[in-house]
Structures are given as C-alpha cells and as structure tokens.
Amino acid sequence: MSLKTVSENKCFGGQQGVYAHASSETGTEMRFSLFLPGDAAGPVPLLTWLSGLTCTEENFTVKAGAQRYAAEQGVAVLAPDTSPRGTDLPGEHDAYDFGSGAGFYVDATEAPWFDHYCMYGYVTRELPALVGEHFPVDLARQGLFGHSMGGHGALTIALKNPETYRSVSAFAPIVSPMNCPWGEKALTGYLGADRAPWRRYDACALIEDGARLEHILVDQGEADDFLAEQLKPELLEAVCDGAGVPLTLNRRPGYDHSYFFIASFIGEHIAYHAERLKG
C-alpha cells in the first residue's frame, strides 16, 4: 500500500511524521501521525495512542509532549485519526459525540455507518500492517494507550487481542460505554438497539465475560468534568477486583480532562509501556 507524506519534522532527535493513505477498512483517505526515535539499532516497539472525541491525529501529536519520552525510551508512537473523514452521511457531522471525530473504535453494523465506520478493524488490522511495511517498527512488541473515548478503545482492543498487545494504559477512559450517555448513543447508532453485541465493545463487560489482561494502568483526574456521568472508573475497579485483573488506578487531585493533564503524566505511561515492550 502506498503512503503520502503530509509532513516530517525532526523532534528530540527523532522524526515526527504525518502520513495519509487510502484505507480499505474505512473506504476513505485516512491520516495518522508517527514518531520514530532517532539512533535506533533495529526495529523499535510500536505504541499506539487512540484519541478522544473531536480529535484528529493532530491533537495528541502537538499537545501531549510524548516525543521526548518516546525518544528517551526508544519506542515509536503511532496516533491515528478518530473516524473516517470526507464522507457526508446523514447526520454525520451534527454532533461532537457521534459520527465524524467519534468513531468509538467499533466496526459498525448499522446502515449507513458500516460502509465506513470500521475503526476497530482499521486500528487492529490495517494500520499496524501498513506501518510495519513502511517503517522500522516491531509488530511483535505493541502497546496501546488512549484518552477518554480512546481510553475505551485501548482497553477494549487490548482485552480482545491480548496476544497482540503486551501493554495497555488509559487516561480518563470511558470504562463502560453501555453505562454512560456517550457510549449508549454511539453503540445504539453504530451497532443497533440490541445491547447484546455491545458487550464486545465495553471493557467492563469484556472482563465480566472472561477477557483478561496481565495489568492495566489508568490515570484519572479528580477535577474531570466527565468523571461522574461518563467515565465512572469505579465500574472498572469493581469488575477488575471481581475478576482478579490487576489494575493500577491513579486518581489525580485537581487534574481535569484536558491535554494539560495528559502531558503531565504521559512520561510515566510511556515508561510503563517501554518496560513491558523492551523485553
């Protein structure tokens, strides 16, 4: 598959790139951002960041300050967009929490979404293969992290693919979309009103249904405006407790939902992943 270079900038001795390609999963052109550390002797671990509602590949790339830590740890950091772009389905651009900018990392089964809204397949199948084809990354050493809707994406994708992803962490994740307004709206729209198939895209339900991970790291700001209504980390805590899944949940006093919170702890998360990916 061919790749179009949108931009490449030297950063912390490595290279911050943005690329575009025709996606077979979404049927659209997709963009992603990739940071490659400098001076790597061979293929480096690949850590994929999944962004939250309204984001493109750019928000994380310019706001999180991840490049310093990725360079220090010798890992590549990949950040895809959060939905297909350039389509104009009915209502697709009407709300910030559904449609464009809000793919929720599912493969939609409802019309008209299923033709394009296949972000689960894009993130787990097409994108890593494409990146592995074009850049010196080691697909046998992958980790996954994300924020809010992207934290939901990271948790659910890792729970369903523990053999692919050696490490997973999240900032302020939606831990149970079946139990919050953002999630109920999105899953109804993409998967239909029957709640049974939703369980495959809900971190808490996946653990209840038997999925397991060696460890999960979560950071959550206590001054996050979405904490009580949408994020509900206590649900993940309870289900991990019940299933014996080791969870480190850092509640951070005073921090909100913004990239200023993410930037403050992204170094700790990248070090956490690097420790698990470098072995």
Q: Which residues are designated catalytic?
A: 148, 224, 257
**Contact code string over 213-242 relative to a second copy, x by CB under 8 A:** --------x-x-------------------
How many Å apart are CA 271 and CA 141, to the nearest integer? 14
Residues in region 89-108 near a second copy by CB under 8 A: none
User: How many chain residues interact with a second copy (CB under 8 A)?
Assistant: 22
Which is nearer to a second copy, 1 or 62 (by Cβ)?
62
Ramachandran region of residue 48, left (φ > 0), alpha (ψ -120 to 50) or beta?
beta
The residue assigned the tokens 């575009």 is 20
Min separation Cβ 15 and a second copy, Å: 9
Residues in region 252-271 near a second copy by CB under 8 A: 254-256, 258-261, 263-264
Which is nearer to a second copy, 173 or 221 (by Cβ)?
221
> Which window, 143-151, 165-173, 201-209, 250-258, contacts a second copy (CB under 8 A)?
250-258
Within the chain, residue ranges assigned H as helices are 57-63, 66-73, 119-121, 127-134, 149-160, 181-191, 203-208, 233-243, 259-277
Structure tokens that stand for 73 in this block:
């740890």
- β-pair partners for 141: none
How many Å apart are CA 243 and CA 220, to the nearest integer? 21
Min separation Cβ 267 and a second copy, Å: 8
How many Å apart are CA 66 and CA 161, to the nearest integer? 25
Q: Is 6 in the site for a second copy (CB under 8 A)?
A: no
Q: Which residues contact 260 (CB under 8 A, 6 or more apart)?
A: none
- SS3 for 82? coil
Within 91-167, residue ranges assigned H as helices are 119-121, 127-134, 149-160
Residues in region 57-76 near a second copy by CB under 8 A: 62-63, 65, 67-68
> Which window, 11-19, 105-113, 117-125, 196-204, contacts a second copy (CB under 8 A)?
11-19
Min separation Cβ 156 and a second copy, Å: 28
Separation in Å, CA 31 to CA 23, 150, 192, 209: 9, 16, 28, 34
Min separation Cβ 14 and a second copy, Å: 9
Which is nearer to a second copy, 96 or 260 (by Cβ)?
260
Min separation Cβ 60 and a second copy, Å: 12
One-letter amino acid at 83 equals: S
Binding site for a second copy (CB under 8 A): 9-13, 16, 62-63, 65, 67-68, 221, 223, 254-256, 258-261, 263-264
